[in-house]
Structures are given as C-alpha cells and as structure tokens.
A and B are shown apart, each in its own frame.
Chain A
Amino acid sequence: MFRTALKSLLGRKVRLLMSTFAIVLGVAFVVGTLVFSDTLSRSFTALMASTVGDVVVRPAGSSGDTEPTARTVDASLVDRLEGVEGAARVDGNVTAFGVFVIDEDNKVVGGQGPPAIGGNWNDAPAGHDLEGLAIIGGRAPEKAGEVLLDSSTAGEAGYTIGEEVHLVSSGDQAVLRPTLVGIAGFPEGGSLNGATFAAFDTRTAQRLLLDGKDAFTDIWVTAEPGTSQGELADAVAQRLPDGVEAVTGDEAADEAASAIQEAVGFLTTFLLIFAGISLVVGGFLIVNTFSILVAQRSRELALLRALGASKRQVTRSVLVEAFVLGAIGSTIGLGLGILLAMGIRTLFGQFGLDLSGQSLIIGPRTVLAAYAVGIIVTMAAAWLPAHRTGRIAPIQAMRDDVAMPEASLHRRLVIGVAMILAGGGALAAGLMDAVPRPGWFVGGGILFILLGVAAASPVISHPFLAGAAWVYARMFGTVGRLAGQNSLRNPRRTTATSSALMIGLSLACTMAIVGASAKASVDETIEKNFVGDYVVSSLFGQPFSPQIARDMAKVDGVDHVWAQRFAITGSGPDGQGVAALDPAAFEQGLDLDMVAGDSADLRDGTVILDEEYADEEGLSVGDTYDVDLADGPRGLEVVGVYAENPILIFPAVTTPQTLIDAGYRDADNFLIVDTTGSSAVQADLEALVAELPIVTVKDQQEFAEEQRGPIDQLVLMIFALLGLALLIAVLGIVNTLALSIIERTREVGLLRAIGVSRPQLRRMVTLESVVIAVLGAVLGVVMGIGFGVALMHSLRDEGLEVIDVPVGQLVMFLVVSLVIGVLAALLPARRAARLDVLGAISTE
C-alpha cells in the first residue's frame, strides 16, 4: 500500500507541487520568525556579554533598566576599590544615551530604535577577559575636543580620522564638533547591532554627560586570573557604601539581555501569530487539494477496494501521501524560511538594527518546529478527505462518474453554527475582560468564528452563489450560466477556497477599522486639547538642552515657551514615567481641563494626575502618589486631576525641580510654544534647532500627523503580513481552479468540440474565479466589520472613543478581490483554453 501511495504521488507532481505551496509558505514563515528571533537574541546576548565587566558596581536598584539613569556612583569609589583582593584593575564608566552622530547630510546616523550611546573610553576587558570594543585605528581620546567612534558608525557617516565630527547631545552643550582621533571595532567579530558609540576622555565625558559631576555611571572591577566573578563580587561588596551594589558580570549581562529578549519576544509572538494565520489559511487549501485529488482518483481507489484493500488501507494510503507531502513542503519551507530570515534581517537593518555581524542561528527547535508544523497541518487537513476515501464503495469502480461520499451539509451547518456561537462567546468574554488572559479569548474567539463560518459556508453562501449564477446568466449569457453552475456544482470546494480569502480579508478589515478608529481618536483628542501654537519634540523623546527653550523664548512673536521633561521611573509592574512642567506655565495660560483640584497648586514635591490613571490607581486629590524616582521611592502629594491631554505624554506631572532633586539630568524633552500669532515664527524656531536634526518644530497639524504616524506604520506592517495570508489565498484559488479544470478536462474538451471558443472558455474560468474571490471578500468584509466594531467598542474605556469604519478602504478591498479573482484565473484559464480538444475528450 505504501508503494502504491508513493507511485501515485510521483504521478501527480505538478498538482502536488501547487498544493505544497501553502505548506511551504506557512512553514517558511514559522522558520523565518524563529531563526530571526534566535539570531536576534543571540546577537544581543553576545553584545551584552561584552558590555559588562567581571564585576559591575552600580547604584542599587538600577538593575534591568533599559537605559542608564542619571544615577551615578562617586568617582572616589574607584580608588577605594583598587586594593580589593583579587581585583586586577578598576575602571569607571560614563555611559549615556542620546549622543547622536550626525552625518554630512545633517541626518542622524543609525536611524530609529537602537540607542545612540555616548561615554568615556577605557580599555578595560569585558567579563571573562572577553575582548570587547578595541581601538583599530588612531588612538584613544585624551582631551576635550577629541572623540572616538565605532567603526560602523564612522563608516556610515563618512568620517575619517582627523575630521571634525558633528554630534548632538542632550547635555547643556547641544551641538559638539570634536575631532575624530580614533576608531574602535570588534577585532574578533561582533557588532553593536546598529547602536552608535561616541567616546570621550573621562573628564570630558563627565562634563558633557553627567553635568560635570566627578562620578561614574558604573564601575567595572576586573578579576585577577583564578578569582571567580562571585568571589570578587563578594569582596567588592564589603567596601561599598549604602546605595551602591556589586553584581557579577554574568548576572548583569543576563539582566540586560533578558530585558531585550522580552522586547524581542513580543516581536516573535507577533510574527508567529501571522505564521499561524498563514497555516490556518493554508490548511483550507490542503483540505481542498486533497479532496479534489482524492475525488479524481476515486475510481482508482474504488478499484483498490474492489481488489480487496481494506478501508483502513485506503485511508492510510492517502495519509501516507499527506505525510510525504508535508515532509517535502516542510523541507522547502525550511529553506525558504532561512531566506526569509535573511530578508527580515536586511529589513531590520534598514531601520538601524544591524545584525550583519551575527550569522543566522538555525536551532534544532526551528527544524523540529518546521517539520512538526508542516507535517501535522498537512496530515490534519488531509484527514477529512482521507477518511472519506475509506467510505468509497468498491462498486463505484464500475460506475462512469464517481461522486465522493460527503458528510451532509446539514451536519456542517450545525457544526459551523456551534463553532460560531462558541467563538462569539469567547470573543465577548475576552472583550469584556471577564476572563484571565482576555487576549487569548479574543484571538481564539475570532479563530473559532472564522472556522465556524467556513464550515457553515456551503450552506450560508448558497444564496450568494445562486444569486451570482443568476446575474452571470443574465449578463454573460451561456458562458455566464456555465460559470455560475460550475461554482454551484461543488459548494464545499467553492466556499473552502473563498474561506481562505475570507480569513485574510476579515483580519485586514478589522485592522483597517481599528487603525482608522485609533487615528480618529488621536485626531479628536488633539483637536480638543492642543495648547499653544507649536510643539518642539525630538526623536524618541530624547532629552535636549534646556538652552533651546531659553533661546526660543527670545524669538520675536513668541509669548511663552513651556518646557516639559520626562523621567522614566521605577521598574515596577506599572513603572512608567513622570513628566514635569514649570507651574508658572499654568499662570501664563497653559490651560488644562481640570477634573479635580487646581493645576495652580502644583509645587515641588506634588503631582497632578491624568484622570484615567488616577482612577486606575484609585487616587484622588490629597492622596499620596508613590513613585520610584532615581534616588529611591518617593511619595508625591496629589494636588489635581486633569482630563486626558495628548500634550502631556506621561500620566503624572510634577515640577522640574522635583526631578532634578531626585538626581535626573537638567534636560527638556518637549516644548510647547505659545505665540502672538505671527506666522514667521516657525521658521525662526526651526533655525534655532537647525543643527539638531533630532529636534523638530511642529504645528498642530504636523503634530497630529506625527502622532498618527506610528498607527499608520503598525497598520501598514500588519497589512503587509496579512498580505502573505492573502497571497496564500490567491494561490489557493489558482490551485483549486487549476485542479478543477484538470478534473473537468473531458468537459472542457467537449465544450471546445461543440464550438466554445478559447476566449469564451477563458471568460468562463475567470467568472468562476471572480465568484470565489468576491464571496470570500464579502464574507471577509462583513466579518471584519463585526470584529472591528466589537473590538473598538471594548476599547471605549481606553480612550479610543471614536469608531471609524473606513468605507472607502473596505470598498477598495472588494474591488481588489475582484481583481484578485481575475488575476487568479489567468493561468488556469489559459491552461483550459490551451487544452488540445481531441486529447481532452479522450482523457479518462
């Protein structure tokens, strides 16, 4: 039986190749995601290992911070640690983010995402004597006005040794133009993953980045040979004052890496969800393909039965085919997935996350997942058709046309409706937050509803198909009638093919609605709450020098400049951040919509809160707001509660002095400029930040656009990923049509013999394809609107109050699906038209 199965596989190469496509794509997506995320986390682990010493001495409680805080340890500690037993050397580090290298075209090098690191240069070896960055050209910076860059940054910006470098920092002195004296790189391979690094001598670094304090961000203690990290850390800990801790390098590297892995984990989950969607969509195609292949062979299978093969043997022979097919598909998918991972790596490189230094990691987990996913999905999808073959009666070998035994449509309807109800329940429960892990309930609910609709769709789509057949017959005459009848002759097949498209499109519609609604909500809040005339903000809210605010206040036509600064606070579960505003702003006319208390009461040591946040935390005026500031926990008195305002980035606002007292740097993040109304102001303001490409001036509209930007980007990215599911669905239509043309070869030959022309035949196939595509699109759009509106409804409380159904976009989806239908028919139609008339008629 196994040999028979293999033989029949080989006899149907082309058809099978088409059906493996779905498996290949799904597996490729899974593999691409896993390989990329493994590579990403390996490269960060490697990078982190080179950014810690054997023992790291740092302010207590700063573990897991994703960026260095303004908290430092005193420089005198270095001398104090010199003599510790087992310590070979002690080096103080200054590290800060937000030191951008600007290239000759006034563009920020490195782009978005990876940090722009500034610090002091020292040649201390990283933990375990690992050679980290080392000078590969020139020398170390020795005095003010000298800088060292990492090699890829210098290369990208086009700076060579001896040239003047353009830097932008968030310190007092915003623009720096030091001379490049040295270039550092990884002699043993490795990379900064796209981060940029600019190093100064220690004194200069302290002056530029630590407001001149004689202090360090952390201290590395290097172990003598034979001393373990643990022993050294214990010895160092003996000599530390309160508020300073010593951790081993391994521990510190793990902490840093795991923080990044968490971020990467999100990405992985996100990509895997799409891999899952492709596989579900692909599963439909496999069910379809196998159903058709088995139907085509039903006579052969019946003959096998007549010759004495048992039901089990027949079923198993089909499953063996599925297994082999799954294995082949997985193998190709594995290869393609690795290519895909390279693609993702290049794509991320475009965004500044440069992983070219790390070769791709193809772990056993990835290979295992590829085969497990490919084979299990294929076999599960083939199980239904295989099971059905077992029920072919031997007598059918004698019949001319064989119909496959099929489960009754009635049963499908019942199962489908049950699934829709269960899915709807889960979705509702998830949306109402009535269950733990609501996200799973929402996702699972949507999946169940989609599968339920797919199951029931041969029944529920019948009116649509019958209507389409009627319209076709009216519009396209006989050819239309033939096409309409063809789509009705096997409603299971038609609707299964549509379902693949439906899934992709319904999710796309959901996203379109969520995206449009989110943007509309942003617009609305900005409209309601925008204060002042311009805002000045920077890339990723990077801090910039307070000098800018002072300069801007002097510009003609400017009434007031209200500076806002942010502080990232404690790393607790709710750790967000606190913003700060000079209370004088409230007297000058910065108008907040106060729900309780008075913004004028804001003093050092007090805070005003966002309404929703205050509700969440159960705080009201007079209560104490507990927050972990840089120098430790602090209780701030709540003096007011304001309605949501997009200008205030964090939900708690205190005074700048409160933050400075707590050890944060004196730098602004966001300015609100209030003018007398003269229109030349924007140009003047922009002139002030011309040298700071990270800082931009925007009016209300530009600000709104910028706020919408990330939503657009996210929606676009999700569309791109869903595009893959759509691609699979389109291939599914091609595949189903092609297979059903093969199945109907004799009929096509007959039509040609009695005078149907090639164009008529092509039109017939195209019309069939369009019915399938439009059915999928209609179902998809209807369900998408349902999901989207339900989702947005449940987000009402989160401040997303506007539900916007982008009708234009949805109509476009329908039109696109029509085009998809036409395009998908191209090849099968050509094939049908090309069939040799005589050959087709005499086909068995």
Chain B
Amino acid sequence: MTTTGDRPVAARVRHLTKTYGSGDAMVRALDDVSLDLVEGEFTAIMGPSGSGKSTLMHCCAALDTATSGEVWIGDRELSGLKDKELTRLRRDEVGFVFQSFNLVPTLTAEENILLPQSIARRKPDREWYDSVIATVGIGDRLGHRPNQLSGGQQQRVAVARALAGRPRIVFADEPTGNLDSQSGAEVLDLLRRSAADHGQTIVMVTHDPVAASYTDRVVFLADGRIVDELRHPDRDKVLEVMARMSAPAEV
C-alpha cells in the first residue's frame, strides 16, 4: 500500500486537471491539483463557489473522469477503468453523501442503508451495522420510508449507508447544506466520531467554518487550485484564511 511517512494513503490525486468546454468558452474547473488523503483523517475542502470542490470530489469518487492527471483509490489508478470496474469501485470502496436526495424513496431506511451490500449480494457485518445504527441514532426509524423522515434524519441515514459498507473512503458534498444548525451538528458529530473512533477516512465539502472546525484538516481551493491548507482548524483560523482568500489583492 502507498504510504506517506508512517500513515497509509487512502486516496491520492496527482496533477489533476479538469476542463469543461473548449476555446474561448473553456472553463478550468481543476488546474493541476495534487493531494494526498491520509487514512483515518477527516478532511474538509473549502473555497468560493465555483472553485472546483465538487468537481474534485466527483473525480476522486469515480463519478467523473478527469481531463488529465491521476486519481488513486488505494492502489488502483482510476483512468482506464471500465464502467464495470468503476461501478464495483463505487459500490465497495467508496461511500458518498450528497447534499440532498440521497435515498431511494421506495425503500425503508434500513433497506437504503444496506443497499450497496445487498446489490453486491454480500452479507452485512451485523456487529458493525449495529454499531453504525447506534452511532447514527436512528434505530427507531429503520422501518420508515424516506418521506416519513426529517431532512436531518434522511442525511443521517445517508451517512449510515456510506459507513455501513466500511468503504476505504467516504465523500460528502455539503452534507449539512440543507440542514438547520442543530441537525447539522448531529451529522457532523457523527462523521467526526466515525473518523476518530473507527479510523474512517472522510472528505467533506463545506462552506461553513463551523463545520470545517469538526475536521482534522482543511484544504482551500480557489479557481481550481489548492491555495492553502490548515491542520487542526478552529472556526477563527478558518475564517481568517477565508478572509485572506477573498481579498487576495491586499496580500
């Protein structure tokens, strides 16, 4: 397994470039981005709207393909993989939480949580499942359909699904963007505990400095490039970097 220093890397990105369109209308969503995501770390990606955060996540999570550069998940490089292999990768190695609409409406919460494993016809690890359910705190809602759950509950179910398969890495794109601060805090706490207690690698996109303060590391993007990074962030440090970024001319 690839390692940096003493800790193994769950995913890494090398010289990743992603462009949309061509000629005058060409947009460089990602511009030569390189990044290591260390196992067991909870990373936040921040940056102004349109800076390429979602694009970066999609490329890492095998949902999108880069224009150039490499993406490694574990020791597999994604470019050149066929749809079948990408599908398997998404199913087994990656968990994903979207901003909204994460659940299949015809299935109950429990069925949604177990969906990736049942598609793979794999028996869920009962013990792990129970501990995920306990952590997520929706044990009494497992038989409900998504439309019978609140937004916060739905997001927690989505997180549970992402965690249940013990993927190598979980991606979450503004998972709390649609939630009030109370529900948001519950979801963030859940993510932090997964990383801290179970060593789950998590990458989360957020605009919220408070949300970022839950993480171990914050990576700042601007115009498709990594422009800054913080370790062990707190709300004020994040705000400081953000302020610096929004007034670059003065620096």
Contacts and interface: CB of A to CB of B under 8 A. Distances in A.
A binds B: yes
A755 interface: yes
A750 B104 contact: yes
The A contact surface, by secondary structure, is: helix
A747 B104 contact: yes
B32 interface: no
Contacts of A481: 107, 111
B193 interface: no
B116 interface: yes
Interface string A473-487: 000011101100110
A746 B101 CA distance: 8
Interface stretch (A141-149, A723-731, A756-764): A756-764
A485 B106 CA distance: 6
A62 to B, nearest CB: 75
A755 B87 contact: yes
Contacts of A486: 106
A761 to B, nearest CB: 10
Interface residues of B, number: 29
Contacts of A815: none
A776 B98 CA distance: 39
A760 B119 contact: yes
Given A753-B90, A755-B116, A758-B83, A841 B98 contact: yes
Given A477-B118, A838-B63, A841-B98, A755 B88 contact: yes
A746 B161 CA distance: 18
Contacts of B102: 750
B55 to A, nearest CB: 10
B105 interface: yes
A12 interface: no
A760 B116 CA distance: 12
Given A752-B87, A754-B91, A401 B105 contact: yes
A340 to B, nearest CB: 42
B105 to A, nearest CB: 7
A400 B101 CA distance: 9
B122 to A, nearest CB: 11
B100 interface: yes
B119 A755 contact: yes
A517 B161 CA distance: 60
Interface in A478-519: 478-479, 481-482, 485-486, 488-489
A600 interface: no
Contacts of B98: 750, 753, 841
A542 to B, nearest CB: 67
A469 to B, nearest CB: 10
Given A489-B106, A747-B105, A478 B115 contact: yes
A756 B101 contact: no
A584 interface: no
B7 interface: no
B92 interface: yes
B63 A753 contact: yes
A753 B58 CA distance: 10
A235 interface: no
B64 interface: yes
Interface in B70-94: 83-84, 87-88, 90-92
Contact of A482 (B64, B104, B121): B104
Given A477-B121, A750-B103, 6 more contacts: A478-B119, A481-B111, A488-B106, A747-B105, A750-B98, A758-B83
22 contacts: A401-B147, A477-B118, A477-B121, A478-B118, A481-B107, A485-B107, A489-B105, A747-B105, A750-B98, A750-B101, A752-B90, A753-B96, A754-B115, A754-B119, A754-B161, A755-B116, A756-B87, A756-B119, A757-B83, A757-B87, A838-B64, A841-B101
8 nearest A-B residue pairs (beta carbon): A755-B91, A485-B106, A478-B118, A757-B87, A755-B90, A755-B116, A754-B116, A478-B119
Interface of B: 58, 63-64, 83-84, 87-88, 90-92, 96, 98, 100-107, 111, 115-116, 118-121, 147, 161
